[in-house]
Amino acid sequence: MASEGFHTDGLPARSACGKRFAIVRTDWNNNITDRLSSSARAALLEYGAGEADIFETTVPGAFELIFAAGSLARRGCYDAVIAIGCVVRGGTPHFDYICQGVTQGLAQINAESVTPVVFGVLTVNNYAQAEARCGGTEGDKGREFALTAIKMAQFVSQIGQ
């Protein structure tokens, strides 16, 4: 932590305190999504969220994130929802359809809900790229998803929704 109770990223040390978060992750590619989810949870706790203030659940695949994230956002009992998935390009157009559908679905939830939904879906060409985003050479995306959720929860508090 930096001085005066702020982390080096500029967020106050206790900025998640009193906030409730939901993390929904896919079982598909769980070797990646488990790590992203664990990292997101650790960051939320580091910033002051309590264990009881973090709800976690899983869905089979990325497309199911739309229903789950929307259901959680509409409940109104979370300050932010983090949707975590990993879609790896294969040899068919399936990758394109899933990525497009998930992106549009989660964007629509964000446009219509008062609860922010963080897009935590890795869309990669191969597993090496996914690994690199789980604390490797491309950073720790799980942590970044959590920091985004904290910032969005603060935003909603600031505008009084």
Instruction: Catalogue the active-site residues.
Output: 94
Q: How far is CA 2 from the centre of its chain?
A: 25
Burial per residue of 27-52, b for 16 or more beta-carbon CB atoms within 10 angstroms, e otherwise: ebbeebbbbbbebbbebbebbbbeee
Q: Could you give the CA distance from residue 41 to residue 18 in angstroms, rounded to a whole number?
A: 15
Beta bridge partners of 117: 81
Q: Residue 27: what residue type? A: D
C-alpha to C-alpha distance for 139 and 75, rounded to whole angstroms: 32
